Every structure is written in structure tokens, then in C-alpha cells.
Amino acid sequence: MAETSIERLRASPSGTLRVSAPTTFGACVVAPLAATFQQMYPLVRVELELNNRNVDLIDEGFDLAIRIGELGDADLIAKPLTMYRMVICASPGYLAQHGRPETPLDLSAHHCLSHTVWHSRNGWKLGGWDSPHFSTEPVFTCNDGNGLRNAAIAGAGLLLQPEVLVANDLASGTLVQVLQAYLPKPHPIHIVYRRDRRPLPKLTRFVAHLLEHVAERETS
């Protein structure tokens, strides 16, 4: 508490900033922005925890969290950050060898890569289709999105993963997007934090930093 009282007296951000974020979005987006924030404000120590559960900000001592999907805690301040979009893609070499799928029915003739958790929940979830789930027997499963990404780059098959994970690969042509009309519905991403009449500078500046630079990513 003494550290918090001192922080309130300082105009410049300082102290430990504890952030919780979903694994993939946190690694691809939040981690680099936390690094640039810390370079701007060297008195701030960042603790970034990546996990796919909704942490309790008060009980677990987090300053803020990034959450995907619907929000259930009305006691928190929530600021819209961006949308969480999925893409289906494959390497140019794979598509040259196996062809380009045009509808989900074509997936039965393709090698599909699947996250272990998704596979246990009955396959890929697709939009623009009669069923919200499309079951296909994966040829390659992994419990890590980046592992699946690297397998797709090496030509293992079709990949369904968050856009933020493969954005650079799509821009460079290392991976090519397919089935754009059947992508899962995007979900909103929010910054959430506790209500405080006098929020600390480290929190308000970091929230502003995220809002500004995530918006820049989308317009660049």
C-alpha cells in the first residue's frame, strides 16, 4: 500500500504493472506494446501473464486484463480494443499440390491442422455454413497455436488460427488465406480494469498506449 500511495503522488507512471492477456493475442500484440511502453516509462516494471482464463483482478492482484468475447463482470470498466478474427490459410506449396478449397465440403479432401482443445470440442467452428461446427479428421494436432503455424508454413495443411498470429505471414505471402466466406464470427476484445476514482498513472497511460497502437495496427 505504501508503494501505491507514492505512485499516486507521481505524475509519471511508476511501479509494477500486472497484466493478464489471452495467450496468442497477448504474445503477438500485448507483449510488444508492453515493451515499448516500458521504454517510454522506465520506472514501470511489467508483469505480463498469458493464459486463456478470466482472472479475478482483485483477488489475483492484476491492474488490468484483456478479455475476448462477452463480458460478465459489470463492476469492471471495459474499453473496446479491437475484434478477434480467425483466418484459414495454408502455404503456397500446399495449395499448389492439393488445390484451393472453395467450400467447407472440400475440407474432407484436405489435410487439416487442429488445436488439441478444439479437436476435443468437435472440430473447427465455421461461419456462413449450415452447422456452427464442421467436423474433419485432422492429420496434425498440437496444443500450441505457434506450433500449428510453423507446421502450416512447412506445408502440413490448412490452418485455422487467429489473424494476429499469422498476419505477417499473410502479408509476406508465406501463408495464403482461403475460405474467407466461411470464417468464424469475430469476437470483441476489451481492456478491463477496476473502478477507481484516482487510477494510477501506470494504468491510465498503458490503457491509452494500447488503444492508440492497436488502432494504428489496423489502419497501417
Q: Residue 184: its pLDDT value, please?
A: 86
Strands 86-90 and 159-162: antiparallel
Q: Answer yes or no: are the C-beta atoms of 140 and 114 closer than 8 Å.
A: yes
Residue-level length of the chain: 220
* Predicted pLDDT at 135: 56
Report phi then psi at 170, rounded to 5: -65, -40
- Kindly list the averaged pLDDT for each block of 10 residues, start to end, along the chain of length 220: 50 90 95 96 96 90 92 83 95 97 89 78 64 65 92 96 95 96 91 85 95 80
According to the model, what pLDDT value does residue 128 have? 65
Query: Do 166 and 25 meet the contact criterion of CB atoms below 8 Å apart?
Result: no
What gap in Å lies between CA 153 and CA 92, rounded to an integer? 9
What is the pLDDT, as a whole number, of residue 2? 43
- Shared domain for 104 and 51, answered yes or no, is no
Task: Assess whether 139 and 63 both reside in one domain.
Answer: no
Quick one: 104 and 173 in the same domain?
Answer: yes
Predicted pLDDT at 33: 97
Q: What is the CATH number of the domain that holds 23?
A: 3.40.190.10
- Show the domain range for 206: 2-84+187-219
DSSP 8-state assignment for residue 101: -
pLDDT of residue 198: 76
